[in-house]
Chains A and B, each alone.
Chain A
Amino acid sequence: MPELIAKAALEQAPLTKAGVTLAAVEIGPITSVAVLPGGAKAVAKALKPLGLSFPAPNTWAAKGAARIVWTGRDQAFLMGVVPPTLDGVAVTDQSDGWAGLSLSGPGAEAALARLVALDLRAAAFPIGSAARVGLNHMSMVLLRVAEEAFEIYVFRSMARTAWHELAEVLDRLEARAALKA
């Protein structure tokens, strides 16, 4: 019998530069919930015991460890919990498909502005916002989790590239900050 060991998508230690901390995030199970035509009522009912409702476009919500994140037309990712039995939807395990990163600190928005062509000003992208958007050449799910904190989910195979590009951005921001000082 083989002994299979679970490996994390990213093994890098957190990195702080220019007032921004880049770290790997382990969110737990991720389940895609795609509503089939006519299935909205059934899914709403099934989500109720979790204290969640199906999210509006570009938003996410949490209740305890459970999160629900809008990821597309009639599609959401349920994160952090094992999914309940769901009717009226296509349920697909995505837990191993994504790598999570967090970017937090006063310069987080400025750091993302180097890689993301999206208006991230607090008025346009407040806490509770979620977006499917590019991270340079990659696709990602972007969440604003606090005023100065974001979570980033990219395809697991691209985790190293995402880390590398964000770390390079922090290097440049640090060099810029040194110029002002």
Chain B
Amino acid sequence: MRLKCPLCGDRDRREFYYSGTDDYLNRPAADAPLSAWDDHLHNRTNPAGLTRDLWYHEQGCAQWLAVTRNTITHEIMAVDLVAKERAK
């Protein structure tokens, strides 16, 4: 498997650390109800098909990447820089 890092280019999957769903980007407000925190931390959909998850380019540029891919076909649709899309 290969990922096209927006900064480093096409790279072997060995360079990346897989973290899980991009739900982790959507941090509830500090005073949100605990149920919102439980959802944020633990409840996942495990889709067959499109998913967006977080990968860390550990042996490369140390950027967190949001990867849109299809879990059935393994097709990778997009690799986005988390820092770029989160900077206001």
Contacts and interface: CB of A to CB of B under 8 A. Distances in A.
Whether A and B touch (Cβ < 8 Å) is answered with yes
Contacts of B63: 72-73
Given A37-B87, A117-B12, A133 B60 contact: yes
Interface residues of A, number: 14
A131 B59 contact: no
A6 B62 CA distance: 31
Contacts of A132: 8, 59-62
Contacts of B58: 139
B14 to A, nearest CB: 6
Given A58-B9, A73-B83, A117-B14, A134 B59 contact: yes
Given A73-B61, A73-B81, A134 B14 contact: yes
Interface string A104-137: 0000000000000111000000000001111000
A55 interface: no
B10 interface: yes
Report which residue of B10, B14, B60 has the largest number of chain A beta carbons within 10 angstroms of its beta carbon.
B60
B59 A139 contact: yes
B62 A72 contact: yes
Contacts of B27: none
A80 interface: no
B15 interface: yes
B7 interface: yes
Nearest to A135: B59
Interface in A69-89: 71-73
Interface string B61-88: 1110000000000000000010100010
A118 B63 CA distance: 18
A117 B61 contact: no
